[in-house]
Structure 1
Amino acid sequence: MEKHNPIKILFADDDADIRHIVRTLLENDGFEVVEAVNGKDAVEKANESFDLIILDMMMPYQDGISVCVELRKSLTVPILFLSAKSQDSDKTLGLGAGGDAYLSKPFSYAELVAQVKAMIRRYHVYRGKDSIEEQEVIKIKNLEINPISNEVWKEGEEIQFTDLEYRILLLFAKNKGRLFSIQYVYEYVWDEPYYYSSNNNVMVHIRNLRRKIEEDPKNPKILLNVWGKGYRIE
């Protein structure tokens, strides 16, 4: 189920040449692209009408990290970071701020388009309820998860998730007690082949998820880690 036609992407980068190249590339693939010239401009233009937000990490007025943190206060739209920084610590910083994926510059245009399409496909599945069979609310401790409306409540208060966070939570919630390896979580949720470098991506998203569902994220009682084997919900 598509949320919009055409699919809308917000692309924020302070380099006009890069904006022109990426916009041309994505428009040739049928996407509608709205440009933002810096971080402040991105915050002002971002809203739920977009299917994807692409942020350069280093921008004037507001860098990509601070933009992402601000957007995550109200938006669940997937966010892709582009950056010349390629250290694992930089990727962890971006994902920890609420980003869904990270591409290091220079990247191939084929790689960018493939990542964009994969993220939008997952988001549309998330918004379209993912053909979930369960009709009843799933209750786990103080959480209530409605697989039909894709809503989650903690002690009666609704919690907002990114699509990846929600898909991770739902995978475990639908299979209480079952142990899932990091490899399985990545291949199921990201719908991409697993590589060892994918471990960090999964763990950062689980850490973000725990911040939202656990009373004490450092001492989790819901999403448990079985060292060396994987994760499960009891």
Structure 2
Amino acid sequence: MDGIDDAPASASRAGAHDESALALVVDDDDEIRELICDYLAGMGYRTRGAANGREMWSRLDEGVDLVILDLMLPGEDGLSLCRTLRDRRSLPVIMISARGACSERIIGLEIGADDYLAKPFDPRELLARVRAVLRRSAPRQDARPPASPSVPDDAERRFAGWRLNLRTRRLQSPEGRSFELPRSDFMVLQALSASPDRIVSRNMLSRQAFGRDHLPGDRAIDVCISRLRRLLEDEARRPRFIRTVRNEGYLLELSADAG
């Protein structure tokens, strides 16, 4: 069919340690929505469906762990919903759309989606992306991470007056303003701050943030860097902290660290 390809019912369930997670599928196409819900339910996930933004908001308080969000929806579209959702909640979002152009994917990632999948797609690929996104988002908000004497609850990294809390994913400015970062942006900044003044390759950043190797033409990491620069830099086009090293990657320069 147009939106989702048929897949063998015997698709592997190996490694699905997160199969108790609740996925909310938001798509106005009843058949596609039900097929996705049925497929994920068959793999052990709990699922809910919503046909539009109003239904999505009404179901979010049911303990949702992941939102699979169609771009083209009646009323408020998926891009607008994703932007508002990112401002209000800390939930991973996989955007799906029949619009598979690179520019559409970039827009989806720029406004905060954790991944983007073009229709038609093999449900096994969706399953793999669901698992990857949930792995990256662990530990879940309702699960306290194991105690570690080397990583206290208030563990943070500091640079030039900025503070990145490694437990809460909150970034605090020198003036005291607090920002909750999207997971992908947090993972990128965490990786850069773990190796200050050293080049971190796009491939390494892609593995940290998205669980996949960087491919030619993939701008997902560049989008994360762009969002971080808009927060951190006085002039995003003339960055002081996050430097681009052409053909190699990025580095977080801490030589001016005043924190």
Structure 1 residue 233, shift from structure 2 partner: 0.5
Equivalent position amino acid for 2:212 in 1 = E
* Cα 1:180/1:76, change in 2 over 3 Å: same
Structure ranking higher in helix proportion: 1
CA contact (8 A) 1:48 1:75 kept: no
Partner SS state of residue 73, structure 1: helix
Map of 2:193 onto structure 1: 173
Q: Deviations over 1:99-130 (max 9, x none)?
A: 11110111001101011111011101475669
Structure 1 residue 134, shift from structure 2 partner: 4.4
Q: Of 64, 70, 80, which residue of structure 2 is paired with 1:56?
A: 70
Map of 1:118 onto structure 2: 132
Partner SS state of residue 152, structure 1: strand
With the length of structure 1 as denominator, give the TM-score of the two structures. 0.89
Partner SS state of residue 72, structure 1: helix
Q: 2: distance between equivalents of 1:6 and 1:183? A: 31
Q: 2: distance between equivalents of 1:124 and 1:164? A: 12
Q: 2: distance between equivalents of 1:110 and 1:131? A: 35
- Check if 1:212 corresponds to 2:226: no
* Cα 1:168/1:126, change in 2 over 3 Å: farther
Q: 2: distance between equivalents of 1:212 and 1:113? A: 33
What are the ranges of 5 or more consecutive residues in structure 1 without an aligned counterpart?
A: none
Structure 1 residue 168, shift from structure 2 partner: 0.7
Q: Deviations over 1:9-31 (max 9, x none)?
A: 11100011111100001111121
Q: 1: distance between equivalents of 2:61 and 2:160? A: 33
Structure 1 residue 180, shift from structure 2 partner: 1.1
Partner SS state of residue 200, structure 2: coil
Partner SS state of residue 40, structure 1: helix
Q: 2: distance between equivalents of 1:183 and 1:131? A: 30
Map of 1:9 onto structure 2: 23
Q: 2: distance between equivalents of 1:75 and 1:151? A: 13
CA contact (8 A) 1:126 1:163 kept: no
Q: Of 33, 38, 49, which residue of structure 2 is paired with 1:35?
A: 49
Q: 1: distance between equivalents of 2:60 and 2:240? A: 35
1:191-230 alignment, distance < 5 Å: 191-198=211-218, 200-230=219-249
Larger radius of gyration between Structure 1 and Structure 2 = 2
1:124-139 alignment, distance < 5 Å: 124-125=138-139, 133-135=150-152, 136-139=155-158
What are the ranges of 5 or more consecutive residues in structure 2 without an aligned counterpart?
A: 1-17, 254-259
Q: 1: distance between equivalents of 2:205 and 2:213? A: 11
96-105 or 37-46, larger mean C-alpha shift: 37-46
